[in-house]
Amino acid sequence: MKTVMSLEQCPNELIMEIFMYVSSIDLFKTFYGLNRRIDSVLHHTTWKLNFFNYTVFVQRSVSSTLSSNIVYLKLKPCQLNHLYALLANLPKLKYLIIEIRQNSVPFLTENRFLTVIYFELHTLGSIEYDVWSNLMLSFPNLNRLTFFSQGDKLINGQQLQLTLSKLSCLTQLRCSLAAWGYKEEDADKVFETFKNDYWLKQSKKWKIKWSYSDTYARVYTVKEEGK
């Protein structure tokens, strides 16, 4: 006689293994709310969520209880005003990856999101320094930061230093800043802003380099040997 076992009869370990083969969003939409045991398994498991934009997140959002347990979120693209509203409801978020388009609405916040320790920012186009700085400082406990920017608003070592030096927990920095339309003498002036103690001596955890070719200026970090 064949024995058919329902999902509810499976041990928690097996249920969790089965769930690993289903996308997080489909998993919540399909199983969340069926019964307390399934909900408990979902609540006590770490899930990664990826969304193409804020609207998709809202339309397909999980319950507020589950949102409060999210530790990793990738959101591409997004608007800063949407991002800050979202972060206010993610008290356990640790890892955040976002993409901001050039037409993103500039938005500043006074809120601080203390749980975020890893932040990765991709900007498609320029982002104003004040907006970027405000965003960085909203995560005061960052220990790893990655950001990529195309545009001339951020290629200034002295301004970047003003912000990064306030992130006292920062131990790892990875960045690439690029812009077009520079004359060689103008690019040299930009590179001079990175020739100070902060970038060349004090920041031993990362190494900064720069390059210029055919109006294209770039400043970027490279990994130190042995790091």
Summarised one tens digit per residue, pLDDT across range 204-215 is 678 899 999 989
CA 159, CA 147: separation in Å to the nearest integer?
Answer: 15
What pTM value is reported for the model? 0.77
Residue 55: predicted pLDDT: 55
CB 137 within 8 A of CB 109: no
CA 209, CA 205: separation in Å to the nearest integer?
Answer: 14
Provide mean pLDDT across the span 20-40: 72
Residue 59: predicted pLDDT: 46
Query: Would you place residue 24 in the very low, low, confident or very high pLDDT band (cuts 50, 70, 90)?
Result: low
Residue 14: predicted pLDDT: 80
Residue 1 has pLDDT above 50, yes or no: no
Provide, rounded to the nearest whole percent, the portion of the chain with pLDDT above 70. Answer: 77
68 vs 25 pLDDT, higher one: 68
140 vs 87 pLDDT, higher one: 140
Residue 200: predicted pLDDT: 84
Residues pairing with 97 in the sheet:
74, 120
CB 66 within 8 A of CB 92: no
CA 135, CA 100: separation in Å to the nearest integer?
Answer: 12
Sign of the Cα torsion 192, 215, 123, 225 reads negative
CA 100, CA 106: separation in Å to the nearest integer?
Answer: 10
Domain ranges in the chain are: 1-45, 47-222
Provide mean pLDDT across the span 6-30: 73
Nearest to 152 by CA among 104, 99, 217: 217
State which of 2-11, 33-42, 45-54, 78-87 shows the largest mean pLDDT: 78-87
Other CB atoms within 10 A of residue 192 CB: 12
- Which of 18-32, 82-96, 145-159 has the least mean pLDDT? 18-32
- Which of 6-15, 120-129, 181-190 has the least mean pLDDT? 6-15
Residues pairing with 75 in the sheet:
51, 98
Residues pairing with 148 in the sheet:
122, 176
Model confidence over 88-131: pLDDT tens digits?
Answer: 888 889 999 999 876 556 678 899 999 999 999 998 878 889 99
- Which residues, 6+ apart, have CB-to-CB distance to 184 below 8 Å? 212
Provide mean pLDDT across the span 22-43: 72
Residue 134 has pLDDT above 70, yes or no: yes
Place of tokens 């899930």: 47
